[in-house]
Amino acid sequence: MRLEGRRALVTGGASGIGAAIAARLAAEGAEVVIGDLNDDGAAEVASEIGAAAGHLDVTRPESSIELVAEHGPFSILVNNAGTDEFGFFTDTDPGQWDRVLAVNLVGVLACTHAALPGMQVAGYGRVVNIASEAGRVGSKGSAVYSAAKGGVIAFTKVIAREGARFQITANAIAPGPIETPLLMGALEFGELGEKVIETMKAGTQLRRLGQPEEVAAAVAFLASDDASYVTGETLGVSGGLGMV
Ligand SMILES: NC(=O)c1ccc[n+]([C@@H]2O[C@H](COP(=O)([O-])OP(=O)(O)OC[C@H]3O[C@@H](n4cnc5c(N)ncnc54)[C@H](O)[C@@H]3O)[C@@H](O)[C@H]2O)c1
C-alpha cells in the first residue's frame, strides 16, 4: 500500500497499459481517477477497480483543466493516453501529423499544465509520462509518433528540473512492444504492421511482447516514495529493446 493517501490521474486508463496502471495504483492504495475519451470503457475499468472516471480529451486543453478542477488536485499524474497511425512517413500527410502530435505530445503538455499547480501548492508531486522506446531508437512506420515520444522524453526532463524545488519528480517510461489494442491494431495495416511487431519482438533480448502489468509495476515504483530520489529519468520497460 505504497500509495495510500495519494490521488492519481491516469489518462487513457480505459484500455491497455492505462487500465493496468489504474488497477495497480488502486491496488497500492491510491484514489484513482481515470480520464479518457472512451467514457464507457473508463466507467467499466473504474467500477472494476474501485476508481472514479471522468471525461477527458487530452487534445483539448480546456478538457484537462475541467477534469482537474472537478476531480483534483492530484499528487500523481500518469500521462498515458496515446495513439498511432502506422505507415511510411512518405505516405503521411499534415492532418495525420497534427492528430498524432495532438494526442501524444500536446496532450502531455496540456494535462501536465493543468495538474502541476496543485502539486506545487502541495509541495509534492509525481509525474510519470508513458513515452516509448520509439522515442529513443525510432520506430519504422511510426515517424510522427517517434518524434512525439522523443519530445515527451525531453519535456519530462524539463519538468524534473522545474518541479524539483516543489518536491515534484518527473520520469518517463519507455515501453517496448506491449500486447495491447494499440500495438495489435498495427496488424490492420497488413504486412508492414506484422513486420513491425515481429521486428520489435526480435529486437528485445527477452524475445517476447511485454504485458501491460509489467509497465504498471514500473509506474507504481516511480509514483511511490521508493523512487523519492529518482527524477528526470527514462526507464525502459522493453525486454532490453532500447539497451545501448
Ligand atoms: N502498446 C505498446 O506496444 C506501446 C509501446 C510503447 C508505448 N506505448 C504507449 O503506452 C500508452 C498506452 O498505449 P496502449 O498500448 O495501452 O494503447 P490503447 O489504445 O490500448 O489505449 C490508449 C487509451 O488512450 C485513450 N485515448 C486516446 N486518445 C485520447 C484522447 N485524445 N484523450 C484521452 N484519452 C485518449 C484511448 O481511448 C485508450 O483508452 C500510449 O501512450 C502508447 O503510446 C504503447
What is the per-residue pLDDT across 5-22, written as a single tens digit (0 to 9) for each? 999 999 999 999 999 999
Phi, psi angle pair for 224, to nearest 5°: -100, 175
Our mutation pick for probing the ligand 1 site, out of 64, 83, 196, 198, counting the most ligand atoms within 8 A of Cβ, is 83
Side chain identity at 196, as an amino acid letter?
V
User: For 210-229, how does the pLDDT look when each residue is reduced to its tens digit (9 = 90+)?
Assistant: 999 999 999 999 999 999 99
CA atoms within 13 A of residue 94's CA, in its CB half-sphere = 0
Contact predicate 134/90, CB 8 Å? no
- Structure pTM? 0.97
CA distance 198 to 17: 20
Please indicate whether residue 23, judged by its CB atom, sits closer than 6 Å to ligand 1: no
User: For 125-134, how does the pLDDT look when each residue is reduced to its tens digit (9 = 90+)?
Assistant: 999 999 999 9
Smallest CA-to-CA distance from 179 within 205, 206, 197 is with 197
Domains of the chain: 7-236 (3.40.50.720)
Given 17, 21, 142, 145, the catalytic residue: 145
- Residue 215 Cα: closest atom of ligand 1: 10
124 is catalytic: no
